[in-house]
Amino acid sequence: PLVPGYHGEAQDLETFRAAAERIGYPVLLKASAGGGGKGMKVVEEESQLADALASAQREAQSSFGDARMLVEKYVLKPRHVEIQVFADQHGHCLYLNERDCSIQRRHQKVVEEAPAPGLSPELRKAMGEAAVRAAQAIGYVGAGTVEFLLDARGEFFFMEMNTRLQVEHPVTEAITGLDLVAWQIRVACGEPLPLTQEQVPLIGHAIEVRLYAEDPANEFLPATGTLALYRESAPGEGRRVDSGVSEGDVVSPFYDPMLGKLIAWGQDREQARLRLLAMLDEFAIGGLKTNIAFLRRILAHPAFAEAELDTGFIPRHQDVLLPPPQALPAQFWEAAAEAWLQGEPAQLRQDDPASPWTLRDGLRLGLPARSSLHLQCDGHEQAVALERSAPSTYRLEGEQLCHEQDGLRRRYLAVRRGGTLYLQWQGELHAVGAHDPIAAAEASHSHQGGLGAPMNGSIVRVLVEPGQVVEAGTALVVLEAMKMEHSIRAPHDGTVKALFCQEGDMVSEGTVLVELEEA
Cβ atoms 333, 339 nearer than 8 A:
no
* Shared-domain flag, residues 317 and 363: no
- What does the pLDDT read at residue 364? 76
Residue 387 domain-assigned? yes
Of the CA atoms within 13 Å of residue 146, those in its CB half-sphere come to: 29
Determine the Cα–Cα distance for residues 187 and 191; give it in Å rounded to an integer.
5
Reported as type and span, the H/E element at residue 226 is strand 225-226
The most distant pair of C-alpha atoms in the chain lies apart, rounded to whole Å, by 90
Cβ atoms 81, 148 nearer than 8 A:
yes
Average the pLDDT over each of 240-244, 403-407, 436-440, 473-477 and give the range with the smallest value.
436-440
Whether the pLDDT of residue 382 is over 50: the answer is: yes
* Shared-domain flag, residues 303 and 179: yes
What is the percentage of the chain residues whose pLDDT exceeds 90? Answer: 70
SS3 category, 115:
coil
Residue 495 domain-assigned? yes
Q: Which residue has the higher pLDDT, 220 or 146?
A: 146
Q: Cα angle vertex 324, ends 377, 231, to 5°?
A: 50
* Shared-domain flag, residues 392 and 297: no
User: Cα 126 to chain center, whole Å?
Assistant: 33
The mean of the pLDDT values for the chain is 91
Whether the pLDDT of residue 326 is over 50: the answer is: yes
* Shared-domain flag, residues 121 and 269: yes
Domain of residue 138, CATH code: 3.30.470.20
Q: Mind listing the pLDDT tens digit for each residue in 119-138?
A: 999 999 999 999 999 999 99
Length of the chain: 519
* Shared-domain flag, residues 313 and 389: no
- Looking at 40, 73, 106, the residue that finishes a domain is 73
Residue 69 domain-assigned? yes
Neighbours of 25 (CB within 10 A): 15
292: amino acid identity, one letter: I
* Shared-domain flag, residues 225 and 295: yes
- What does the pLDDT read at residue 20? 95
Highest mean pLDDT: which range of 28-42, 189-203, 346-360: 189-203
Long-range contacts: 251-254, Cβ < 8 Å, 24+? Answer: 251/213, 251/223, 251/224, 251/225, 251/226, 251/227, 251/288, 252/224, 252/456, 253/222, 253/224, 253/455, 253/456, 253/457, 253/481, 253/482, 254/482
Residue 352 domain-assigned? no
* Shared-domain flag, residues 430 and 511: no
DSSP conformational letter for 359: B
User: What domain range is 427 assigned to?
Assistant: 330-347+357-435
Residue 68 annotated as catalytic:
no
Domain of residue 379, CATH code: 3.30.700.40
- What does the pLDDT read at residue 456? 83
Average the pLDDT over each of 153-162, 231-240, 358-367 and give the range with the smallest value.
358-367
Whether the pLDDT of residue 447 is over 80: the answer is: no
* Shared-domain flag, residues 137 and 163: yes
Closest CA to 49 of 79, 74, 66: 74
Highest mean pLDDT: which range of 201-205, 410-414, 431-435: 201-205
* Shared-domain flag, residues 282 and 158: yes
- Looking at 435, 466, 498, the residue that finishes a domain is 435
Residue 58 domain-assigned? yes
Q: Mind listing the pLDDT tens digit for each residue in 234-279?
A: 999 999 999 989 999 999 888 888 999 999 999 999 999 999 999 9
- State how many domains the chain has: 4
- Looking at 41, 57, 73, the residue that finishes a domain is 73
- What does the pLDDT read at residue 347? 63
* Shared-domain flag, residues 195 and 243: yes
- What does the pLDDT read at residue 446? 47
Annotated active-site residue in 164, 360, 395, 417: 164
Domain of residue 28, CATH code: 3.30.1490.20
Mean pLDDT of 35-50: 89
Q: Grade residue 355 by pLDDT with cuts at 50, 70 and 90.
A: confident
